[in-house]
Amino acid sequence: MTKELQDGPLSGLQVVELGSFIAGPFCGQLLADLGAQVIKVEPPGTGDTMRQWGQQKSSNGLSLWWPIIGRNKLSVTIDLRVPEGQALARDLISQADVLVENFRPGTLESWNLAPETLRLDNPGLVIARVSGYGQTGPYNMKAGFAAAAEAAAGLRHLTGYPDRIPTRVGISIGDSLAGLHAALGVLAALVARPARDGRGQIVDAAITESVLSVMESVISECAVTGAVRARTGPILPKIAPSNLYPTQDGTYAIIAANGDGLFKRLVAAMGQPELAVDPRYATHIARGERQAELDELISAWTITKPIVEIVALMDQHGVPAGPVNDAAAVLRDPHFRERAALVETETAEGVRVTMQGVAPKFSDTPARVRWAGPSLGQHTDEVLLEQLRLGPDRVAALRAGGVI
């Protein structure tokens, strides 16, 4: 069963993925990218909602998000709402190392797939449960889309400009963070399994807590001093210079030179080395006090040069800088191509797709995009016949009954 195509550091790991949308399937994508065999269970006829999502579609009307979040997975259709489908899922899970699900808490239990039941047949099973607010607590039964979770955890409050309403990041960052934390939890639980006599455990990954985990010192600052950090647009207050600066060709350059040594190199590149010893700008604290004034000074220089020249000067002087790339610029960037951070593959429907590659890179067990997201139910017969060892007549009967 496509085992010859398995490679990567998680080769040999067996995962069953339930659920839909982003957070749970992104966890499954990460595990599949690293070489695990991920069997994605989808509802017959409709499949994962991600098969329809995405702002733009391919020429034949298919989602361009699904090939990414479904990549490297096997697609099996099973109706989890009927007893026969639940029994098939239990059989699959009994052979797995990991189960990933992102239903509202209590849904697995209502389908006779409660963790305690599953672990009777498979004590080593690691179960990643991804939800908006976690499996416990007063909010656990609230609907948990990332937008609400990001707002609840304080991220939305910090995103945007101080004189405007909070904005979203531009991607479903809360879902992605939850999927990433769930995958991290799965790997930690697998490492812990031998010391627990081979027993698995539940990994409870909440979107809210995944967002909280990347909030740096925002919460502790408030707890200790009462200070509530506010939206600041493209800058961090008192951290200067670090901003977007206008260029001659109507774009922006990001320049981050807030360290003393970096600032010296920046002003040398600007042909104004005297600014490095000017008391108004010579220290981190002084630059922070005159942040707006310093940004205006740098902008007056950058606006006279095209972005290519600015970046070349910054590179020459060792100052972190670059363009603000849109998707088209990312696609043209040779660095991403050289490192296989962008790869081309073909969907089951024959559509050529360029997508982000696998991160991180491994020196000895390289992970890769082995195939794009499969068509709905593409591997149902293969999995039921080869892995569950059902007979062809039984598979045909299940399909006729709408179970698969």
Q: Which domain holds residue 256?
A: 242-326
Average pLDDT over the chain, rounded to an integer? 96
Is the domain of 320 the same as that of 356? no
Selected residue with higher pLDDT from 5 and 389: 389
CATH number of the domain bearing residue 266: 3.30.1540.10
Run of H or E including 202:
strand 202-206
Is the domain of 187 the same as that of 284? no
Answer yes or no: is pLDDT of 2 > 80: no
Answer yes or no: is pLDDT of 4 > 50: no
Is the domain of 34 the same as that of 173? yes
Q: With beta carbons less than 8 A apart as the criterion, state whether 317 and 268 touch.
A: yes
Given this model, what pLDDT does residue 5 score? Answer: 56
Q: Which of 107, 95, 84, 92 is nearest to 19 (CA)?
A: 107
Given this model, what pLDDT does residue 335 score? Answer: 97
- As given in the structure block, the two tokens for residue 385 are 């016949």
Is the domain of 55 the same as that of 197? yes
Q: Which residues contact 214 (CB under 8 A, 6 or more apart)?
A: 177
Is the domain of 194 the same as that of 247? no
Q: With beta carbons less than 8 A apart as the criterion, state whether 99 and 127 touch.
A: yes
Tally the C-alpha atoms within 13 A of residue 362's C-alpha that lie toward its C-beta: 13
Given this model, what pLDDT does residue 1 score? Answer: 53
Is the domain of 171 the same as that of 32? yes
Listed in sequence order, the DSSP H helices in 95-199 are: 107-110, 115-121, 146-152, 173-192
Which pLDDT band, with edges at 50, 70 and 90, does 145 fall under? very high
Distance CA 41, CA 377 (A): 9
Choose the final residue of a domain: 276, 291, 326: 326
Instruction: Give the mean pLDDT of 359-380.
Output: 96
Using the structure block, give the residue that is written with the tokens 């698995």. Answer: 200
Q: Tell whether 231 is covered by a domain.
A: no
Q: Tell whether 51 is covered by a domain.
A: yes
Q: Tell whether 24 is covered by a domain.
A: yes
Given this model, what pLDDT does residue 60 score? Answer: 86
The DSSP secondary-structure symbol of 119 reads H
Distance CA 233, CA 167 (A): 10
Instruction: Give the mean pLDDT of 47-55.
Output: 94
Is the domain of 297 the same as that of 383? no
Is the domain of 37 the same as that of 147? yes
Q: How far is CA 126 from the centre of its chain?
A: 21
Strand spans (E) along 4-65: 14-17, 37-42
Q: Report the percentage of the chain scoring pLDDT > 70.
A: 99
Q: How far is CA 204 from the centre of its chain?
A: 17
Lowest mean pLDDT among 47-51, 53-57, 235-239, 360-364: 53-57
Which tens digits make up the pLDDT trace of 299-345?
999 999 999 999 999 999 999 999 999 999 999 999 999 999 999 99
Is the domain of 280 the same as that of 357? no
Which tens digits make up the pLDDT trace of 156-212?
999 999 999 999 999 999 999 999 999 999 999 999 999 999 999 999 999 999 999
CATH number of the domain bearing residue 178: 3.40.50.10540
Is the domain of 365 the same as that of 251? no
Residue positions annotated with a catalytic role: 175
Q: Report the percentage of the chain scoring pLDDT > 90.
A: 96
Number of structural domains (the chain) is 2
Is the domain of 250 the same as that of 106? no
pTM value? Answer: 0.95
Distance CA 241, CA 256 (A): 6
Q: Which of 156, 256, 164 is nearest to 212 (CA)?
A: 156
